[in-house]
Amino acid sequence: MSCPFVTFGLLPVMVAFMVSVLLGILWFSPLLFGTVWLRLIDRRNEEISREEYRRPLFLSLIIPGFISVLALTFLLAWMRVTAVWAALAVASLVAIGFVAMALLGLVFSERRSLKLTLIHTMYLFCSLNLSALILMLW
């Protein structure tokens, strides 16, 4: 297997990562699902704007976002995916087959909120598919 950075290049990987983080910031903002998300995690906007909450929230987008984009890059390179539709299929299968099912398991075992789980799952689904699209179209 060749290095995925040779296959895709480092710049598209970094752009996909940055777009993933920006999508997360938008996703969990009041413009999209932030208001519902805050209610579901039993927090208020004033609390989240404090430094003690901002850093963990930001890190929760940075670290998983980088590793997810990196893993998707390796997977697409390993599978020698060259078509956009195939990359979107792989990203969708990973998001639904692994991420969504793992999070759904928490709904059943820990009685987590299904609505909260759907907000997180759909963000990850969109993030992985957007990353796959960037990697393939670059």
Residue-level pLDDT at 48: 66
Token pair 């969990």: residue = 28
pLDDT single digits (tens) 89-113 = 999 999 999 999 999 999 999 999 9
What is the chain written as a DSSP string? ---HHHHH-HHHHHHHHHHHHHHHHHHTSTTTTHHHHHHHTT--HHHHTSHHHHHHHHHHHHHHHHHHHHHHHHHHHHTT--SHHHHHHHHHHHIIIIIIHHHHHHHHHH---HHHHHHHHHHHHHHHHHHHHHHHH-
Contact by Cβ (8 Å): 77, 7: yes
Cα gap 42→75, rounded to integer Å: 37
Quick one: pLDDT at residue 57? 74
Written as six digits, the tokens of 78 are 């390993």
pLDDT score for 58: 79
Residue 4 pLDDT? 61
Write down the pLDDT at residue 87: 98
Counting as low any pLDDT under 50, the low residues of the chain are none
Enter the tokens of residue 87: 């990359």
Cα end-to-end span (Å), the chain? 21
Q: Where are the domains of the chain?
A: 4-137
Please give the pLDDT value at position 53: 64
The proportion of the chain whose per-residue pLDDT surpasses 90, expressed as a percent, equals 75
Please give the structure tokens belonging to residue 84.
């956009």
